[in-house]
Amino acid sequence: MVHPPSESLTLWYDEPATDWETQALPIGNGPLGAMVFGGVATERIQFNEKTLWTGGPGHGGYDSGNWTSPRPDAVAEVRRRIDRDGRVTPDEVAALLGRPKTGFGAYQTFGDLYLDIAGAPRSPTGYRRELSLGEAVARVGYTADGVAHTREYFAGNPGNVIVGRLSADRGGGISFTLRHTSPHQDKTVTASGGRLTIRGRLPDNGMRFEAQVQVIAEGGTRTDAGDRITVTGADSAVFVLSAGTDYADVHPAYRGEDPHAKVTAAVDAAAARSYDELRAAHVADYRELFDRVRLDLGQATPAIPTDRLRASYTGGSSADDRALEALFFAYGRYLLISSSRENDLLPANLQGVWNDSTSPPWSADYHLNINLQMNYWPAEQTNLHETTRPYDRYITALVAPGRRTAREMFGARGWVVHNETNPFGFTGVHDWATAFWFPEAAAWTTQHLYDTYRFTGDVDYLRETAYPVIKGAAEFWLDLLHTDPRDGRLVVSPSYSPEHGDFSAGASMSQQIVRELLTNALASAKTLGVDEGFQAETAAALAKLDPGIRIGSWGQLQEWKEDWDATTDTHRHVSHLYALHPGHQVVAGTPEARAAEVSLTGRGDGGTGWSKAWKINFWARLLDGDHAHRMLVEQLKTSTLDNLWDTHPPFQLDGNFGATSGIAEMLVQSQNDVVHVLPALPAAWKDGSVAGLRARGDVTVGATWTNGAPDTITVRTGRTGPIKVRSSVVAGRHRVHDERGHEPGARRDGEVLSWDARAGRTYTIRNAAP
């Protein structure tokens, strides 16, 4: 089967954008992001630099959410009430343990560039605005008075610049004025030598920020005038932009060098190169990541704009429906590459890197009761390992402030962080009763670090990066676990199932997360051959720990240790299914998996965008491809905007990442050390192929299928050792061989083949049925 070229993966529209959230198109390189509107008379390019935040140490009274005076018996008092009464209301607990936020801050827009086009036509023809996912280039094109006008924009990670080019197919056809606007008042804007410099300090915290935009015209004239630059009669013109702040991810000051020198150097270097050189470097860098995975669902390149493609989507059998699904999968990978790169100080936030506000929803912060973790679900499995480095860096940076919170609030070893945090080590609490308490967050954040080790097999990474963070999170829980007077088991108390119900002891998600953390910590220590005392302590706790997996009175997986679940409950969080996904303690085909299915069915197929995305993953883990696809359909029809951003509402990017992860889970799973290929293929994806997905064990996977049945499966093994591959093709006649035609001596057990793989070899399992 021929894979469609990545160039066919394009969002396109026949009108300019008028709304930032629903219509403008995002470009980004990790640290920088921009939204392109494509206006004819006035082009708007809203841009961001990810570290521009209010709040933190520069804000008077900032205290990382820690209690400002001792509360020596507060946690114990909540435990006593839970032991006595079984449950305590969130308001009652917040009164004892919460505190108002001080200086938490919010992610900030850097402002807007406007290009006022001189002599712009009122009625251009052939207008097209597009975003090529194959090249990460946004374009605007139209014709007026017989002249074809073209604009291109990209955010290049090499050099850390945003670049734009305006051109026409008739000489002297480019005239515009470039200006900057911003809601930030403490700034100066000056133009000199064709360079616009925006420089200031946030009054909230004194953070220094700077952006520079160099305009380079080919032909015509360029004029600096106060706070703007005008180009007249040029054949083409290019601008390069870079931006920065004096933020540093180092506790406790979180301040570094003035950004001026770094921004100046970036713009100077880019301005010294030709547009074609900058573009080629950007495309090569981007495609090295994006082109690793190809997905063909039998789609054709749509003949209608993307907003109409989404509006007409039914999830049925048309090639256009398959095109939107394949585009949505690719878009999630594009957005992750664009908002999380190796040179980032911060990971992708609730909005990735894009924000047009000084007070965005939820501060565009880092929510740790699913949202940040969901951002990175597709990273390893869709072959974007490099995008995880800002996440690792950020979680590691939380350890130092988290140790203080663990010591002062709990009297515990290790480190902790709660429900949401910011770039300034906010590891304490606030006072929103249903969303202030979640000390399990630290444990959950470490799951991805251990999973990175499982995907890569990199023992040095485990030793140097993952294990110290995992061990610290485990030490916290070894000190905090409480003996439940009901049965003598170790439980989390106080425990709160995110944003739902009352406080209790041993809520299912709490237990499942801590069980996974301790299991990973013990396995890591054994792999590294270290910390025998810690190993013994962890193993002893695991032996007494309540696993948090119970089947309730109506066949459901219980959300709490007591059977409180209501059959009419349709809450967006399905936290008690953590052990199904992203955990792996619940396995398809078991009684617990059947109970999870009952719970999912009870909750229904509704919810917010990210909630629907999570349900794609749940149903895929239950090996129900048709229901997983139904959730994808629901997300695309009712929780996706015209620019294909996920909406809560409002817009949140986690749902895009969760959906891409869910599609990958439908195609390859490996959470239980077996590479399961096409585990949840829906009937709607009758014929297709995928290449480049990753499985745990350092394995790269591809497959082709016809009429819903596998034709070929390929696995490339990065390490020497045993491998297990599961597929329905194995149950029938098949052949296994490497690229040299040699058979590896595979052993079959039902649908599972196992053999001793060699590093660097590609093995093919081929359907040999007549």
Chain segment 586-613, per-residue pLDDT in tens: 999 999 999 999 999 999 999 999 999 9
The answer on pLDDT for 569 being more than 90 is no
pLDDT band at 571 (very low <50, low <70, confident <90, very high): confident
pLDDT of residue 1: 30
pLDDT of residue 4: 37
The answer on pLDDT for 5 being more than 80 is no
Tokens of 638: 């009712």
DSSP single-letter state for residue 406: I
Query: Would you say 650 and 369 are in contact if contact means Cβ atoms under 8 Å apart?
Result: no
362-386: average pLDDT: 97
Chain segment 611-640, per-residue pLDDT in tens: 999 999 999 999 999 999 999 999 999 999
What percent of the residues of the chain are helix, what percent strand, and what percent coil, each to the nearest 5? 35, 25, 40
pLDDT of residue 3: 34
84-98: average pLDDT: 97
pLDDT band at 8 (very low <50, low <70, confident <90, very high): confident
pLDDT band at 2 (very low <50, low <70, confident <90, very high): very low
298-326: average pLDDT: 95
Query: Would you say 712 and 763 are in contact if contact means Cβ atoms under 8 Å apart?
Result: no
pLDDT of residue 572: 81
Which residues fall within 8 angstroms of residue 450, CB to CB, at 6 or more apart? 462, 466, 470, 520, 523, 524
pLDDT band at 770 (very low <50, low <70, confident <90, very high): confident
C-beta pairs of 579-582 under 8 Å, 24+ apart in sequence: 579/508, 579/512, 579/516, 579/548, 579/549, 580/618, 580/621, 580/622, 581/614, 581/617, 581/618, 581/620, 581/621, 581/665, 582/373, 582/377, 582/447, 582/617
3-state secondary structure of 726: strand
pLDDT of residue 6: 47
* Nearest CA among 107, 114, 270, 108 for reference residue 187: 108
Number of H helices, E strands in the chain: 18, 31
Chain segment 431-462, per-residue pLDDT in tens: 999 999 999 999 999 999 999 999 999 999 99
Arithmetic mean of pLDDT over the chain: 96
The answer on pLDDT for 271 being more than 60 is yes
pLDDT of residue 300: 87
453-472: average pLDDT: 98
The answer on pLDDT for 738 being more than 60 is yes
345-370: average pLDDT: 97
Q: What residue ranges in 620-751 does DSSP mark as E strands? A: 668-669, 675-677, 688-695, 699-706, 709-717, 721-726, 734-738, 747-749
Amino acid (1-letter code) at residue 555: G
pLDDT band at 573 (very low <50, low <70, confident <90, very high): confident
710-717: average pLDDT: 97
pLDDT band at 514 (very low <50, low <70, confident <90, very high): very high
pLDDT of residue 108: 98
The answer on pLDDT for 121 being more than 60 is yes
pLDDT of residue 223: 97
